[in-house]
Each structure stands twice: as structure tokens, then as C-alpha cells.
């Protein structure tokens, strides 16, 4: 079995809280981070609900620092600082420290805002920071600058699989001997009239504007689409020998990971491609299907997507794992979603408790899985997996084991 990577640091800012502790507490309490969008710009939109970050990044970073960063970059830096501190600020050579932060669309809020400014006020009013703020690679770049990482700053852009693919790439960098420590995960902040309108036109979003907290309902018979969210989640991965030598505390071990592509449809998903990613992640970790006791599902709450994932989990793992869908509480953080799910899976096996899926009132009869619902489930599981699937047929799966 190939060596894994120790997970020594966790950081997040989500619709449930401004850090990992508050986000995890919210998941275990079954709280919802979804709310009605109060701003005037949401009036007239078919969908007026979203999961906004519970703590404004500028409150953490300071307004001077935040002003030169897109909201996506702000979220990444907040999560990175927490993860680094949680890991004990490892003393690592800069050339042996890498950063991998995925995103779905990067600085789209800057792109759209500055384009509006260009159209209404002219070129001289456009910010000189526009390009550094809109670049999809900027979250990785900003974090690499913050911590002096010279071992590479990478940016997977694979839609809703980006965060998980980033963590998978972090494991690859360690296994290939290119880094001793990697800061990896995802960041996204794209709650905007254009993205909401575009997803709504594709009939991908829930239209429960009158009941925001009940809108995201994975695996429920009455689900009608996902809820757009924003935030970031990052982990610190360390080569096992490096972590052991410095006596680092470990939350869990990233034992294996895999990515595949469906080559099927730009927005549709293929259960076969997803199942292949799950199996490859198992093989990468040296695990068998029966070793996996828990799955944090991608489960966005779309009518077709949840059923496709149901088939892929059943095909690759069977029906024995306890499955939960934390997007029922956070909404769908797109490029950051997989990293949020990874942290939830890590904490589930570390603490021996799986958050319940919120809003699951009537299980879709086609879902033949053991879905955790009602209240958190306590127990001990040797291994857990996370699934992330993105538009374009991107599949990324991570396998964690208890340390």
C-alpha cells in the first residue's frame, strides 16, 4: 500500500460559521446556513436564496487587506490562516511547501463588477487590481505568498470537483516527493445575479424562496435543485515521516484519492465514471469496499444528480456505508464543496459522529442507501470517503482513515 498523507490542519469559512469549530457544530446541530438574499439586486430573480458566509472575511482580514482581494481570495486566505495555525505552523523549507487551491470560477465577482464600472464610468475608473483579483489562480497565489510556499502553487479548475481534486493533487505531490507539506482545498464566492439567473435557467436551483432553510434537501422525494453557497475549506497535508518527526497531531490520514472524467455530457453525469473514481480511490488507499463505513456524498439536491450518485455508490461500495449530505445545511459551495465535505468526513471519523442530513422528510424510493437522518449517528469507522462531481464530467473521490 502506498503511503498516505497526515491531515494536520483544518480551516474553513462557510455559511454555518467562520471557522471549522462553528461549521462542525452547525452540522451536528442540523442548522441551516441558507437565507433569503436581502439586497435589492435580488429582486426580480427567480431564485433569491443562497448560503452566504456567516462571517464576513473582511472582518477577519481587515478592510485594507480585503479591498485588494476578490471575495473568493478573501475566503481562501481566512481558511488558510486557520488551517496553518491548527497544524502548528510547520517549520518547513519553502521549496518543500506547496499550495493547491481549486475553484470553479475564481474571481467572477470582480470580473462582473469591474465590467459594470467600465461600461458606466469608463476605463479610468477600472481598478488596477482587476486582473490579480479575477485570476482563478489567485487564491493559490495569495496563500502561497502568505506562507512563503515555493514548492508550487496550483489551481485545479474542475467545477464542483475542484476542491477535492486539489486535495487529491496535494497527496500526489507528497507521494511524488515534490513536497513535505501541502496546503490544499477549495474556495468559491460567486453569489451574483448572473450566476443565479444562469443556474436557474438551467433548472438546477431550488425555487423555494419562501422556505430558504428547507430548500436544500438531498435524497428527499420533494427535492427541486441545489442552493448556491460560498466559502472556503483547506487542509494541511504532511508527509508521514515529516509529521512524525516533528510530533504533529493528526486529525486523520488521507490514504488515497482518485479523479476520473466521464466524457459523457457537459452538465450530465455518468454513474459508471463516478463508480470508477470511487474504486480507484479505494485502490489508491489500499482499502476494500467493506472497509468504508461512511460516505460524505456529493448530493447537491438535484432530481437527477442524487439518483446518479446513489447508483455509483451502490455499484462501487454497496449499501452498507452510512451516508450523509452536508450540503443540506451549507448549500453547494461549488469549487469549495469537496473540501468542506472532506473536513466533515475527517471530523466524523476523528470524533465518531456523522451529521444527519437535514430536510430529509420522505426518502426518494429509488435511493437504496443508509442515509443518516433525524439525528447524528455515533460510532467508530475505520475509513470514510468523500465524493465530488462537477459539470464537464469531473469526478474526484478521497479516502480517509483514522490516524
Residue 265 annotated as catalytic: no
Phi, psi of 166 (to 5 degrees): -65, -45
DSSP 159: G
Burial of 43 (0-12, 13-18, 19+ CB in 10 A): exposed
Q: 252 pairs with which residues across the strands?
A: 7
Residue 332 annotated as catalytic: yes
Q: Which of 306, 126, 160 is nearest to 223 (CA)?
A: 306
Contact 348, 383 (CB under 8 A): no
From the candidates 154, 192, 298, 394, give the one annotated as an active-site residue. 298
Contact 229, 330 (CB under 8 A): yes
From the candidates 72, 154, 160, 192, give the one annotated as an active-site residue. 160
Using alpha carbons, list the distances in angstroms from residue 141 to 12, 69, 361.
Answer: 18, 11, 43
Residue 394 annotated as catalytic: no
From the candidates 154, 332, 334, 394, give the one annotated as an active-site residue. 332
- Angle in degrees, 0-180, between the axes of helices 303-317 and 271-285, rounded to the nearest 10: 40
CA–CA distance, 79 with 235 (Å, rounded to integer): 9
Q: Which helix (H) or strand (E) holds 98?
A: strand 97-102
Q: 220 pairs with which residues across the strands?
A: 363
Which residues are annotated as catalytic? 160, 298, 332
Amino acid at each position: 500500500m502506498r503511503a498516505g498523507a497526515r491531515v494536520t490542519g483544518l480551516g474553513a469559512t462557510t455559511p454555518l460559521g467562520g471557522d471549522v469549530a462553528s461549521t462542525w457544530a452547525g452540522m451536528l446541530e442540523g442548522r441551516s446556513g441558507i437565507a433569503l438574499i436581502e439586497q435589492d439586486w435580488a429582486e426580480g430573480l427567480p431564485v433569491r436564496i443562497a448560503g452566504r458566509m456567516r462571517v464576513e472575511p473582511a472582518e477577519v482580514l481587515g478592510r485594507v487587506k480585503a479591498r485588494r482581494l476578490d471575495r473568493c481570495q478573501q475566503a481562501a486566505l481566512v481558511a488558510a490562516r486557520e488551517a496553518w495555525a491548527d497544524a502548528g505552523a510547520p517549520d518547513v523549507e519553502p521549496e518543500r511547501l506547496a499550495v493547491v487551491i481549486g475553484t470553479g470560477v475564481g474571481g467572477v465577482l470582480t470580473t462582473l463588477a469591474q465590467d459594470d464600472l467600465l461600461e458606466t464610468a469608463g476605463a479610468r475608473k477600472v481598478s488596477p487590481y482587476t486582473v490579480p483579483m479575477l485570476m482563478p489562480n489567485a487564491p493559490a497565489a495569495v496563500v502561497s505568498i502568505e506562507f512563503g510556499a515555493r514548492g508550487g502553487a496550483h489551481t485545479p479548475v474542475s467545477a464542483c470537483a475542484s476542491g477535492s481534486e486539489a486535495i487529491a493533487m496535494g497527496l500526489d505531490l507528497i507521494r511524488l516527493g515534490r513536497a513535505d507539506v501541502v496546503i490544499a482545498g477549495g474556495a468559491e464566492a460567486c453569489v451574483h445575479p448572473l450566476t443565479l439567473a444562469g443556474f436557474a435557467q438551467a433548472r438546477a436551483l431550488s425555487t423555494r424562496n419562501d422556505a430558504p432553510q428547507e430548500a436544500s434537501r438531498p435524497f428527499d422525494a420533494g427535492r427541486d435543485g441545489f442552493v448556491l453557497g460560498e466559502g472556503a475549506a483547506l487542509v494541511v497535508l504532511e508527509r508521514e515521516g515529516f509529521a512524525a518527526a516533528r510530533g504533529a497531531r493528526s486529525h486523520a490520514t488521507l490514504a488515497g484519492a482518485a479523479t476520473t472524467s466521464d466524457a459523457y455530457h457537459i452538465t450530465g453525469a455518468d454513474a459508471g465514471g463516478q463508480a470508477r473514481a470511487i474504486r480507484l480511490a479505494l485502490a489508491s488507499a489500499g482499502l476494500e469496499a467493506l472497509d468504508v463505513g461512511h460516505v460524505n456524498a456529493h448530493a447537491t439536491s438535484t432530481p437527477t444528480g442524487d439518483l446518479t450518485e446513489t447508483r455509483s455508490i451502490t455499484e462501487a461500495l454497496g449499501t452498507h456505508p452510512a451516508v450523509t449530505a452536508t450540503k443540506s445545511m451549507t448549500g453547494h459551495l461549488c469549487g469549495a464543496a469537496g473540501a468542506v465535505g472532506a473536513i466533515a468526513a475527517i471530523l466524523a471519523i476523528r470524533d465518531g459522529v456523522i451529521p444527519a442530513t437535514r430536510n430529509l422528510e420522505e426518502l426518494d424510493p429509488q435511493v437504496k442507501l443508509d442515509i443518516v437522518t433525524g439525528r447524528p449517528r455515533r460510532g467508530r469507522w475505520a475509513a470514510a470517503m468523500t465524493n465530488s462531481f462537477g459539470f464537464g464530467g469531473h469526478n474526484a473521490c478521497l479516502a480517509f482513515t483514522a490516524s
